[in-house]
A and B are shown apart, each in its own frame.
Chain A
Amino acid sequence: MNDTDRKLGPTILQVEGISLAFGGVKALTNISFEVKEHEILAIIGPNGAGKSSMLNVINGVYHPNAGSITYKGNVRQQMKPHEAASQGIARTFQNIALFKGMSVLDNIMTGRTLKMNAGFLAQCLYIGSARNEEIEHRKKVEEIIDFLQIQSIRKTPVGRLPYGLQKRVELGRALAAEPELLLLDEPMAGMNIEEKEDMSRFILDVNDEFGTTIVLIEHDMGVVMDLSDRIVVLDYGKKIGDGTPTEIRNNKEVIDAYLGVSD
């Protein structure tokens, strides 16, 4: 991986001096890093290191106590999640957050909400723009369903699906928004080797085909080393490493704190 011929663009996301505390718990302390367009950045670190909190800050679920986020040249400190969505940030969750009562198709269709704009009356009557829009977006959603190879379960309520497939559907829902920045919180947690391989391939394909910038959290070091262009290491809310997979592998502090001394 890490093809050198792949072009990284300018900085799309810059995180500067972010600190976040819950009561006395310092989840994040003075975190800074940047993500380039088209990059795959992995955030690693032990449980409770603040990885998920970092993603939550980026897409506006948590509001940092200090620091700033610059996304596509715009600085902002606070932002609501739906505003982040409208600027092209999508994500998946560590604990699957699908809409359990809805079918796979509807879950992924929901991902396209921001791209739909038929008026209320048209929707009540299912005429004109509402109908055309529904069909046009359905096509796009079917492309995603094909891409993720989940054709056979499109009408199944997601609550009935096994864990691995749910993770895939959640990726599909995020992709439906055609995001520029995709945040994946442990997309492969709890998967077997084969499922991890599938998921890795999807992530690489998304990055390649659509040029999507990806920030992902993952524990499996093999996967992380294979997938990512760069790695940020967190430990107890502090950044202790930032570099290419090779650099991280040879970083003394990271090895001591996380990767284990015996290598």
Chain B
Amino acid sequence: MFYREAGQFKTSYKADQAMFPIFQDKIFVAIWLFIGFVVVPMLANEYMFRAIFIPVIIMALAAIGLNLLVGYCGQVSLGSGAFMAVGAYAAYNFMIRVPELNPLICFLLGGLSATAVGVIFGIPSLRIKGFYLAVATLALQFFTDWTFSRIDWFTNYTPSGSIAVRPVEMLGVVFDSPMKKYFLCLVFLVIFTIIGTNIVRGRIGRAWMATRDMDVAAEIIGIRPVFAKLSAFAVSSFFIGVAGALWAFVHLGSWEPLAFDINLSFSILFMVIIGGLGSIVGGMLGAAFITLLPLFLNQLPVWLGINISTAMISHLEFMIFGALIIFFLAVEPLGLARIWQITKEKLRLWPFPH
């Protein structure tokens, strides 16, 4: 009963087109922002920031980015790790080679570098689809792995090939404590979520979805496939590239040559599938789920007082992911986001089920 739009008649299209047309949705968002900006910082300890909140937030950003491409535009990509790597290494190189640049600018330039790579590697999508496109993006993944581990210039000739950075300073604040880092990431996530939401509900988003659903019909309406697909690659790569820079500079602080390998690409794809294809909220839910599940599984034996080897736990993790992915692909392609939506619809009717 408390989640419904009864009595809220939209008297103008402007009102109907607002980001959250239902009043209760505004409340939901306000509650989430309150939790994010007030409750979590009050309750969380350093470990929770480092192990849970910061990685979940950055991965949510990456998953939203990938979802723009896969979920909204229907172009499969296994190259998210590569785009994160490009974002991270580009930001690093801008920072050390042009020291006057503000790190914020460097992060955005990292994102733009990922955009450039994304557009180039998006070109095959004009010819190939589905599985074959996934393989083409996989090639990008191996290409960047090779580039950043073999070409020493990118790592500034550090002997081990790994990179360590100092805490970033932006707008006069040094982001050195976990809580400050958390706030930084959260602000990034909020801004990018707003941008992502705006894009997908407007002309570009419709062009992406039209291309996804029926490309011939989209073209007949006047949507150029080149524009739709490459713009999806561009925007998606930008999101993922910025997430990569945050991951490297804010979460990791120092990283090895293969920190952005194929496993990362798979994780982000799983987040999108489990969270919900074609849903911004889905990216967040998926990121939270995939990041938290291993932590949860590690704790479970402790709570239950039984003894399971760590090897067993990681096997278990893979099996659960596998089962869930099959479930979501086969039964609920709209993922956790759909389950969330159904819950809201039920709430809307509660306590009268019909």
Residue ranges of A at the interface with B (Cβ–Cβ < 8 Å): 59, 61, 80-82, 84-86, 90-91, 93, 97-102, 106, 109-111, 113-114, 116, 118, 120, 123-126, 130, 133-135, 138-139, 142, 173, 177
Q: For chain B, what secondary structure do more than half of its interface residues adopt (helix, strand, loop), or is it mixed?
A: helix
Residue in chain B with minimal CB distance to A105: B16
Please measure, in the bound complex, the distance between the C-alpha atom of A105 and the C-alpha atom of B195, giving whole angstroms: 22
Minimum CB–CB distance for B119 against chain A, Å:
14
A99 interface neighbour in B13, B19, B204, B214, Cβ under 8 Å: B214
Instruction: Report yes or no: A111 in contact with B13, Cβ–Cβ below 8 A.
Output: no
Whether the Cβ atoms of A81 and B219 lie closer than 8 Å is yes
B242 within 8 A of A: no
- Bound CA span A126–B196, Å: 11
The A interface, classified by DSSP as helix, strand, loop or mixed, is helix
Contact of A177 among B199, B201, B213, B222 (CB under 8 A): B222
The complex places the Cα of A86 from the Cα of B223 at a distance, in Å, of: 10
Q: Is the CB of A99 within 8 A of B210?
A: yes
Interface residues of B (CB under 8 A from A): 13-14, 16-17, 19, 194-195, 198-199, 201-204, 206-207, 209-210, 212-214, 216-224, 278
B207 touches A101 (CB 8 A): no
**Nearest-Cβ distance from residue A69 to partner chain B, whole angstroms:** 16
Neighbouring A residues of B14 by C-beta, 8 Å = 135
Q: A80 to chain B: which residues have CB within 8 Å? A: 219
- Cβ–Cβ < 8 Å partners of A139 in chain B: 13
> CA–CA, A59 to B217, complex, Å?
11
* Interface contact A125-B217, CB-CB below 8 Å: no
26 example contacts (A-B, Cβ-Cβ < 8 A) are as follows A82-B220, A82-B222, A85-B221, A90-B221, A97-B217, A98-B214, A99-B212, A99-B213, A99-B217, A101-B209, A102-B210, A110-B207, A110-B221, A113-B203, A113-B207, A116-B203, A120-B204, A123-B199, A123-B202, A123-B204, A124-B198, A125-B194, A125-B198, A130-B198, A133-B203, A138-B16
* Also in contact, A134 and B213, with CB within 8 A (given A114-B221, A177-B222): no
The answer to whether A126 touches B202 (Cβ under 8 A) is: yes
Indicate the member of B195, B199, B201, B202 with the most A CB atoms within 10 Å. B202
Residue on B nearest A111 in the bound complex, by CB: B221
User: A61 CA to B224 CA in the complex, in Å?
Assistant: 13
Q: Are A106 and B206 in contact (CB under 8 A)?
A: yes
Q: Given A101-B212, A113-B223, A135-B17, does the pair A93, B203 have CB atoms closer than 8 Å? A: no
Let me know if A106 and B17 touch, CB within 8 A: no
Q: Given the complex, which residues of A lie within 8 Å of B199, measured CB to CB?
A: 123-124
Which of A82, A90, A97, A109 meets B206, CB within 8 Å?
A109
Q: In the complex, what's the smallest C-beta–C-beta distance from B331 to chain A, in angstroms?
A: 17
Other than A99-B218, A109-B206, give 17 A-B pairs with Cβ distance below 8 A: A85-B220, A86-B222, A97-B217, A98-B214, A99-B209, A99-B217, A101-B213, A106-B209, A110-B210, A114-B222, A118-B202, A123-B198, A126-B198, A133-B203, A135-B13, A138-B16, A177-B221
Min C-beta distance of A105 to chain B, whole Å = 9
Interface centre among B212, B214, B216, B278 (most CB of A within 10 A): B214
